[in-house]
Amino acid sequence: MRESTALDFNNLDIEKLTEGLLQNFKTVENMMTDFSKTYEQMNLDPFNLSELYREWFAAAIQNPAQMAQKNMEFWQNALHLYQRSAMGLMGIETEPVIKEARGDRRFHHEDWAKEPIFRTIKQSYLLVSQWLRSLVADVDGLDKHTAQKVQFFTERLLDAMSPTNFAATNPAVLQRILETKGGSLVHGLKNMMEDLERGQGILKIQMTDTNAFELGKNVAVTPGKVVFQSRMFQLIQYTPTTERVYKRPLLVVPPWINKFYIMDLQPKNSLLRWLVEQGHTVFVISWVNPDESYSDIGFDTYLKEGVLVATDVVEQITGESEMNAIGYCIGGTLLSTTLAYMKAHGDKRIKSSTYFTTMIDFSEPGELGVFIDEDQIGSLEERMNKEGYLEGSSMAGAFNLMRANDLIWSFYINNYLLGNDPRPFDLLYWNSDSTRMPAKMHSWYLRNMYLNNRLCKAELAIEETPIDLTTVDVPSCFVSTVEDHIAPWLSTYSGAQLFSGPVRFILGGSGHIAGIINPPEAEKYDYRVTDELPADPEEWAAGAEKLPGSWWPEWQRWIAPMSGEMVAARVPGSGNFKALEDAPGAYVKKRLGETVVAPPKPTRAGVTQPNKTKAAPAKRTAVKDDTGEKAWTIKAVVEPQAAAADDLTAISGIGPKLSAVLQKRGITSYAALAAMSADEIKALLLSEGAGYARYDTSTWPQEAERLKAK
C-alpha cells in the first residue's frame, strides 16, 4: 500500500533507488507479459472508433476546398507562432498567437507564461487543438449522432495529447524531478505499479486515499437506524433532531447507479441531515450492490420491490397514508414511473414529488448520448450476459471520460509524474465507490429510456400496467443545475412539462453533484425559480430572476405547506419495525470486490433479521379499509437455503467474477481450495480461457488454509 506520510526524497539512497527502479521495471514487465496473453480476448476498440473516423473522413473529403481552407489557416497561425517564438528566444516580448480557454487549469505553472520554450509548446498544442476541432466541426454528410461522437472523442484525444501529460514537457514535473533528485519518478512508478496490480493489468488510477474514510465513522454519519431490509434494499430512518416533526414523512429514492451517501458526506454539507433539521421524518432507500445472482432482476423489480415496498413500510412505521418523495437522478426517473403506476392502481399515498437532476425526456441526453446506439448497447449486453451485471467501474469510466482533464489526467500527473500520493477527499471516495448494474435491468433501461425514449411517449408498461406520465397530477418540483453534463437542464425542463399537476422548476448553479449538494452556509452559486413553464426553456431562463445562494431553503418553503401539521418526533425502531443496525447500514458498505449481503429472512411483515434462510420477493396485496380505499400489506415468503459458501473473495487476487467461476467448478469452500496446489488451480482457470493466465495463484492454497482454520 502507499505510504501515508510524505517521502523525504533528498535523503533517499541513490544505489537503493537504482536497485528499486530496476526491480520495479522488472515487475511491470512481468505484469505486462501476463496482460499481453489476454489481449486477444479484449475488445481494444470498444467504441468502434476506426469505423467512426472512416465515416468522418469519407464525408470530409467531399468538400476539399473547406478542408484546404482550414489547413491553410492552421499553417498561417503556425508560421506566426514560429516568428514570435524566435523573437521570444531573443528576449523580445510578443503577444501570444493563441491563449488557453478561461478556466483551463492545466497551464497554471508560471513557466508556461514566462519561459519561451514552454510558451511555444503550449501554443503549439493549442493551435493543433483548434485545427482538429475545426476539421471535425460542421461536416456535411454526417448524421447528428455520428458527428457528436466524432467531436466527443476528438476532444478526448486532445485531452490525452496535452503537453502537461508528459514529463519532458511539463515544467512542474521537471522541477519536481530536480528537487527530489529523481525520487519522484521512482515513487510515481511504484504508484503506477500498484494501480496496475489493483486493476489486474489495467491501469486504474487511484483518485483518493480510500483508507482515510470509513462509512459511519467520518462519512455518512447522520444518526439513524436501518428499520427494514429485503433482497433489494435497506430502508434507513434518520433520528429526529427536533421535538416535533411534520406529519407527512419524506421518502428519498436515490439512484441505484451510485450510493446514497453523496447526500450525507460530511455534517457540514449533508442534505439528509439538513432535511432532518427542518423537521422532516426522513427515510432513505439504500439499494443492494448486486452481483451475478441478480442478473434477471428488471426495472419492474426496482419499482415493485423497491419504491412500492418502501412506501408500504414508511406507511406502517409512521401510521401515515400520505407522504412526500424525492428522487435523485435516475432515482427520480424510477419515482416518476412509480407514480404513474400507482395512479393506474388508485394508489394516492405519495402527495408530492421532487426530482433532483432527473431526466424523463431522453431526446437530448447530452454527452452521454455518444455512448448510446445499437452497436454499443449490443456490445454492452454481450458483456453483461457473460457476467450477469455491468461492473460499476465501466459506468464510472464513462462519466470520468466526460471530464477527462479533471477526473483522469490530473490524477495521472499527480500520482505518476509528480510522484505524489493521492490526497484524502470524501467526494472522490464516494465517486470511486461504484455499484454494479443487473444485466436485465440495465439493458432495459438503456433501450427503453436512452435509445428509444419510450417513457415520455407513454409507450411503456410495468407488468401490463400502462405508464402514462400525463396522469401524474401531484405537485412536483424539478431541481436542475446549469452545468450538468449528465442530466442537461434543457432535457430535465422538457420532462417537467409532461405532468398534469402543478410544477415548480428550480435551476441552480454548478453541476450534477455540486449544484445539488450546496448547503446554505456555503453561500455559493445562485438559482432561478418559477411556477410557470413556457415551452421554450431559453425563454424561461431569460425571464426567471436569479437569486443568490442555495436553493435548499427555497425548496423547503415549497414543501412545508404540503407536509401537514407538526406532530411528536418519531424515534427509529420504537414501533413494530425494530432497528436492525445503525445507519448507514451494511448494504452500502459493500464495495466492488466484496460479496453481496445475503438476502434476509422476514420474521413478520416488514421486520427482518438475517439468518440462514433466503427471502423470496416481497408480495403486496391490496385490501379495502373502512373508507373503501386501498390499503397495502407486505407478505414475505421464506424458503430454505443451502449452507452459504465461503467468501472466496477474502483471498488476495480473487474478485467476485473469479469467485463465481470457481464456485461453478465446484470450489465453494476454503477447504476445497486449500486441498489443491497452486498449479492445479492455475490449470483449472486456464481451462476456462486464456484470459485467466494473468492470475497469480501461488499463495491461494496457503491463504485458504489460514482462513479455513479461523
Is 485 exposed, middle or buried (CB count within 10 Å of its CB: 0-12, 13-18, 19+)? middle
Under 8 Å between Cβ of 340 and 318: no
Catalytic residue, chosen from 329, 340, 507, 559, is 329
Give per-residue burial for 555-591: e unless 16+ CB within 10 Å, then b: bbebbeeebbeebeebebbeeebeebeebbbbbbbbe
Estimate the crossing angle of helix 144-161 against helix 116-136, to 10 degrees.
170
Determine the residue type at 448: N
Residue 484: CB atoms within 10 Å: 25
CA distance 186 to 165: 17
d(CA 237, CA 651) in angstroms, rounded, equals 35
Could you give the CA distance from residue 533 to residue 653 in angstroms, rounded to a whole number? 54
Which stretches of 472-612 are assigned E, i.e. beta strand? 476-481, 503-508, 526-530, 546-548, 566-568, 581-582, 601-604, 607-609
Query: Comparing C-alpha atoms, which of 323, 319, 339 is closest to residue 331?
Result: 339
Q: Is residue 87 within 8 Å of 119, Cβ to Cβ?
A: no
Beta strand pairing call for 282-287 and 250-253:
parallel
- C-alpha angle 210-600-216 in degrees, rounded to nearest 5: 30
Neighbouring-strand partners of residue 356: 328, 479
Exposure letters 146-172 (e unless 16+ CB within 10 A, then b): bbebbbbbbbbebbeebbbbebebbbb
| Grid coordinates of 681 | 488451480
d(CA 367, CA 443): 19
H or E element, residue 406:
none
Instruction: Kindly report the backbone phi and psi dihedral angles of residue 393, in degrees, each rounded to the nearest multiple of 5, phi listed first.
Output: -65, -25
In angstroms, rounded to a whole number, what is the distance separating the alpha carbons of residues 338 and 472?
10
Query: Is 329 annotated in the active site?
Result: yes
Q: What is the set of active-site residues? A: 329
